[in-house]
C-alpha cells in the first residue's frame, strides 16, 4: 500500500501544514510504510495516479484541505483518506454553520453573530455594528468565520475597536464571527475513532493562545490529562462526542472548549484536520492516552483503510 501525505498548498496555514506533513511522513516511514509526500498543487490528480496512491493522509490546514474540497475530490477518485468526509468537513470548517449545528444538538456554544463583508460593502451593515454590543456584551472575540491557527482573531474590549477587528478578520475570510467571551479554563478534547482521548488543558503564558503561543515550544503550559473534576472532564468529553455525532465526523477530530467557573464546558469550534506539529494539541492528547505519535499516525491509517473498505 502506498500512502500519500498531503500537506502545504497555498493556504495561509501552509507552513504549519508542511510541519505536520513532515512529521507524519517520518512517523509512517518509521513504521515501514511506503510514503510519498505531496505538496498540494494543480498536479494533484496526476500525481496521485502516477504514484498509484492507495490512501491519502491529510495533513492540510486551511481552506482547501478542511472545507471538504479535497475530500470530495478523493471520494470521486475512489481513494481512501484520513479524517472526516466532505460534508462533515464542510460543516465543521465554517464556524457559523458548525455553531448552529452544535446548538441544535444542545451543545453549549457561546452566543455569536455573523457579519459578512458583502453586508458591510453592499448594505451598510457597518452602521449596525453598535447593535452587536446589545446582543453580545464586551469583551467579545472576533474571528474569521473560516480559518485556523488563530489567524485574524482579536479580542475586542469595547465598541471603538470593533470595526477594525472585523476588518482584520475580513483579511482572512469575507465573514466575521463575533462571539461572547467565556472566561475559564481552556481545554481541547480530541476524539479518535469515536473515543475521546484525555483532555488537554491550555495556559498560554502570554495570556492569549495565539499563533506565537501555539507554535513556540514552551510558550504555553499544557496539562494532560487536564486538571478537571472527573464529572467536568466527562462533560467535556460528552460535549465533544455530541459534536462528533452532530457533525457526522469520523476517524479524528479536535474540539476546543472553555470550562467556565461553574464547570460548564462551552464548545468554541471543531477541527476535522487537527494540527500535528510538535506543539500541537492532538499529539499531546494521544500521548496522554498512551499513543506515541508514530502509533497514532499508523492507527489513523488503519482506521481510514478499514472504514473505507467497509464503505
Partner 1 sequence: MTEVQLDPYQSRYAQRAHGMTASEIRALFAVATRPEIVSLAGGMPYTAALDADAVTAVTEMVIRESGATALQYGGGQGIDELRERLVDVMAAEQVRVHPDDILVTNGGQQGLDLLGKLFCNPGDIVLAEGPSYVGALNAFSSYQAYVIHLAMDEAGLIPESLDETVAALRSAGRTAKFLYTIPNHQNPAGVSMSAARREALIERAQRYDLLLIEDNPYGLLDFKGEQLTCLHEMDPDRVIYLGTLSKIFSPGVRIGWVAAPAPIRNKLTLLKETADLSQSNLTQYVAERWLATQPWLDQVKQFRELYRERCDAMLDELALELPDDCSWSAPTGGFFVWLRLPDGLDSKELLPSALRARVAYVPGRAFYADGSGEREMRLSFCFPTSDSIREGVRRLAGVIRDQIALREAFYGHQTTKDDAS
Closest CA to 236 of 301, 180, 169, 186: 186
**Number of alpha carbons in the 13 Å side-chain half-sphere of residue 131:** 8
Q: Nearer to partner 1 by C-beta: 105 or 133?
A: 133
Q: Rule CB under 8 A: say whether 23 interacts with partner 1.
A: no
Q: Rule CB under 8 A: say whether 234 interacts with partner 1.
A: no
Q: Nearer to partner 1 by C-beta: 224 or 255?
A: 224
Q: Rule CB under 8 A: say whether 254 interacts with partner 1.
A: no
Alpha-carbon span 16 to 59, nearest angstrom: 9
Q: Nearer to partner 1 by C-beta: 133 or 163?
A: 163
Residue from 59, 197, 284, 300 in contact with partner 1 (CB under 8 A): 284
Residue from 167, 234, 242, 248 in contact with partner 1 (CB under 8 A): 167
Q: What angle do CA 182, 193, 309 make, to 5 degrees?
A: 140
| Closest approach of partner 1 to the CB of residue 34, in Å | 27
Q: Rule CB under 8 A: say whether 221 interacts with partner 1.
A: yes
Q: Nearer to partner 1 by C-beta: 78 or 218?
A: 218
| Closest approach of partner 1 to the CB of residue 289, in Å | 12
Residue from 26, 117, 238, 294 in contact with partner 1 (CB under 8 A): 117
Q: Rule CB under 8 A: say whether 28 interacts with partner 1.
A: no
Inter-residue contact 119 to 302 (CB < 8 Å): no
| Closest approach of partner 1 to the CB of residue 118, in Å | 10
Q: For partner 1, which stretch binds (CB under 8 A), given 74-82, 92-100, 189-197, 219-227?
A: 219-227
Q: For partner 1, which stretch binds (CB under 8 A), given 48-56, 82-90, 115-123, 256-264?
A: 115-123
Residue from 84, 89, 109, 168 in contact with partner 1 (CB under 8 A): 168
Residue from 65, 85, 152, 275 in contact with partner 1 (CB under 8 A): 152
The residues binding partner 1 (CB under 8 A) are: 10-16, 18, 117, 120-121, 124, 126, 129, 149, 151-152, 163, 166-168, 170-172, 200-201, 210-227, 278-279, 284, 287-288
Amino acid at each position: 500500500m502506498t500512502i500519500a501525505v498531503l500537506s502545504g498548498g497555498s493556504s495561509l496555514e501552509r507552513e504549519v501544514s508542511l510541519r505536520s506533513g513532515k512529521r507524519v511522513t517520518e512517523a509512517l516511514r518509521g513504521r515501514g510504510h511506503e510514503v510519498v509526500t505531496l505538496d498540494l498543487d494543480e498536479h494533484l490528480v496526476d500525481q496521485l495516479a502516477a504514484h498509484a496512491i492507495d490512501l491519502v493522509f491529510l495533513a492540510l490546514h486551511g481552506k482547501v484541505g478542511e472545507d471538504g474540497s479535497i475530500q470530495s475530490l478523493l471520494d470521486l477518485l475512489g481513494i481512501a483518506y484520513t479524517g472526516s468526509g466532505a460534508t462533515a468537513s464542510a460543516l465543521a470548517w465554517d464556524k457559523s454553520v458548525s455553531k448552529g449545528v452544535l446548538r441544535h444538538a444542545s451543545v453549549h456554544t457561546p452566543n455569536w453573530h455573523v457579519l459578512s463583508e458583502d453586508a458591510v460593502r453592499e448594505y451598510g451593515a457597518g452602521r449596525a455594528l453598535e447593535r452587536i454590543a446589545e446582543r453580545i456584551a464586551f469583551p467579545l472575540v472576533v474571528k474569521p468565520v473560516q480559518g485556523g491557527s488563530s489567524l485574524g482573531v482579536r479580542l475586542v474590549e469595547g465598541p471603538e475597536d470593533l470595526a477594525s477587528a472585523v476588518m482584520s478578520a475580513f483579511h482572512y475570510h469575507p465573514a466575521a464571527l463575533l462571539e461572547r467571551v467565556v472566561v475559564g479554563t481552556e481545554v481541547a478534547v480530541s476524539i479518535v475513532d469515536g473515543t475521546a482521548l484525555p483532555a488537554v488543558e491550555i495556559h498560554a503564558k502570554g495570556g492569549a493562545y495565539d499563533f506565537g503561543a501555539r507554535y513556540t515550544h514552551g510558550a504555553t503550559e499544557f496539562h494532560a490529562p487536564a486538571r478537571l473534576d472527573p464529572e467536568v472532564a466527562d462533560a467535556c468529553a460528552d460535549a465533544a462526542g455530541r459534536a462528533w455525532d452532530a457533525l457526522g465526523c469520523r476517524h479524528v477530530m479536535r474540539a476546543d472548549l472553555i470550562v467556565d467557573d461553574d464547570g460548564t464546558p462551552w464548545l468554541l469550534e471543531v477541527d476535522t484536520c487537527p494540527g500535528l506539529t510538535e506543539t500541537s494539541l492532538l499529539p499531546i492528547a494521544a500521548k496522554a492516552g498512551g499513543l506515541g505519535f508514530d502509533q497514532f499516525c499508523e492507527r489513523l491509517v488503519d482506521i481510514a483503510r478499514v472504514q473505507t473498505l467497509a464503505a
